[in-house]
Amino acid sequence: MRLFKTDKIIVGKEDKTRAQVRAERLDTPSLYAWMDNCVMSLGASFDSWRYKDAPSDEVTSCIEAAHVVWSEIEKRKNERNT
């Protein structure tokens, strides 16, 4: 299951992935819900890869999605503390 597409797009003068743009548009409670989902999906996909010989691309997709969501959460937290 692809949570976020990670292909690059150009937004203004910045190169961003579709995932980054999507994360920026979400409200903070939704970001926390997505992070929960990313962590749970990562665990499930990792177990499937490790024990059931599932493809590794699902694990990679979950890691990339979690990174995007976590980066946005951290960014907002830092902006709030500034």
Question: Residues 60-75: pLDDT tens digits?
Answer: 999 999 999 999 999 9
User: In the chain, where are the structural domains located?
Assistant: 27-80
How many CB atoms lie under 10 A from the CB of residue 16?
16
- Let me know: does 2 contact 18? Beta carbons within 8 Å: no
Question: Residues 10-67: pLDDT tens digits?
Answer: 556 678 888 899 999 999 999 999 999 999 999 999 999 999 999 999 999 999 999 9
For 26-66, give the DSSP string.
S-HHHHHHHHHHHHHHHHHHHHHHHHH---THHHHHHHHHH
Q: Model pTM?
A: 0.80
